[in-house]
Structure 1
Amino acid sequence: MKVLIISDSHGLTDELQEIRKRHESETEAMFHCGDSELPADHPSMQGFVSVRGNCDYEQKYAEELIEEADGFRFFIAHGHMHNVKSTLMNLKYAAEDHGAKIVCFGHSHVAGAESAGGILFINPGSIRLPRMRIEKTYVILEIQNGSAAVTFYQQDGTPVKGMAQRFELS
């Protein structure tokens, strides 16, 4: 199973559509972790399950979502309500409360993935305003046989060297 994870596109439209078209036939789900700054019915958001970020004013977006994909429970939040720029502990507690094993979030614009306490945390970075790296990034998560491969891609679809990671899901 593959999942496309993206965040913090901050008004980009053509780029979102290109990324969606590039991966929609190979993914079972597509998550946008907020700050699209687009209406929920905008053509660029078609196919994305999305949450509201601190720069989104569309009331149709939920603050948080729980999604199931291939037997795995995902907790999706932008992160601003969980203080992710300082700690992932609040996200961890929320994920535990919802029985989620995978957390997808944004807000900090810092691409990264880590596992803590049996929960996989993925921040795809930003395809508009990355921080801590120059690459504008998104993620393809591939889960097979209890193992999760997290691959970061540049906006043009090129894998980011040195960022791919593999995690065991318990």
Structure 2
Amino acid sequence: MKFLIVSDSHGSTKELFDLKKRHFEEVEAFFHCGDSELQQENETIEGMHIVRGNCDGEHAFPDEICKAYGKAIFYVAHGHLHQVKSTLLNIQYRAAEYGANIVCFGHSHIAGAEYIDGMLYVNPGSILLPRMRKEQTYAIIEIINTEAKVTFYDKAGTELPALGMTCELLS
């Protein structure tokens, strides 16, 4: 199973439309980690699991989502309510309350993945306004049995191998 993770598109619909067109057939679900700055009725985000970020005026989006796909239990939040720019501890505690083993968040616009104490953390970066790298990024998490493989891509769909990682998911 594959899952597309995107964040911080800040009103841009072209990039989101391109991602859906490119990956629609191969992914189980699309997760948007907030700051879409779009209205819930916008057809570009139709079918996406989307949370509200600090720049979103749309209050119809939830602050957090938890979804299970077999042994992969996703906790998705923007991260501003968990101070992710300074620590992962707050979001770790919240995800643990849900029994999640994959945490997806945005807010910092910095792409990265790490595996800490049985929990996979993925920040897809920003598809529009990246920080710390020039590439506008998103991520795909592929689950094969108990293994999670995170692959990052630039907005054109070119893989960025230096950012990727693989780990064992604990249930």
Partner of 2:86: 86
Partner of 1:64: 64
* Deviation at residue 151 of structure 1 after TM alignment: 0.4
Partner of 1:149: 149
Distance in 1 of aligned mates of 2:162 and 2:62: 34
Gaps of 5+ in 2: none
AA aligned to 1:32 is H
Q: Is the 8 A contact 1:28 1:69 kept in 2?
A: no
AA aligned to 1:156 is A
Partner of 1:51: 51
* Deviation at residue 69 of structure 1 after TM alignment: 1.8
Distance in 2 of aligned mates of 1:71 and 1:92: 18
Partner of 1:8: 8
Distance in 2 of aligned mates of 1:121 and 1:162: 16
Alignment of 1:108-147 (within 5 A): 108-147=108-147
Tell me the SS of whatever aligns to 1:166: strand
Q: Is the 8 A contact 2:83 2:90 kept in 1?
A: yes
Structure 1: 4+ residue segments shifted above 4 A: none
Q: Is the 8 A contact 1:74 1:104 kept in 2?
A: yes
Distance in 2 of aligned mates of 1:67 and 1:125: 21
Q: Is the 8 A contact 1:103 1:120 kept in 2?
A: yes
Q: Is the 8 A contact 2:72 2:143 kept in 1?
A: no
AA aligned to 1:75 is Y
* Deviation at residue 161 of structure 1 after TM alignment: 3.4
Identity %: 54
* Deviation at residue 70 of structure 1 after TM alignment: 3.1
Distance in 2 of aligned mates of 1:34 and 1:112: 16
* Deviation at residue 139 of structure 1 after TM alignment: 0.3
Q: How many residues align?
A: 170
Distance in 1 of aligned mates of 2:164 and 2:113: 9
Gaps of 5+ in 1: none
Tell me the SS of whatever aligns to 1:30: strand
AA aligned to 1:13 is T
Any idea what the Cα deviations from partners look like across 1:19-69, whole Å, max 9, x if unmatched?
111101100011000000000110111121000000001011000111112
AA aligned to 1:111 is A
1:23 and 2:18 are equivalent in the alignment: no
TM-score by length of 1: 0.98
Distance in 2 of aligned mates of 1:47 and 1:21: 13
Q: Is the 8 A contact 2:72 2:169 kept in 1?
A: no
Distance in 2 of aligned mates of 1:120 and 1:161: 17
Partner of 2:97: 97
* Deviation at residue 142 of structure 1 after TM alignment: 0.3
Partner of 1:32: 32
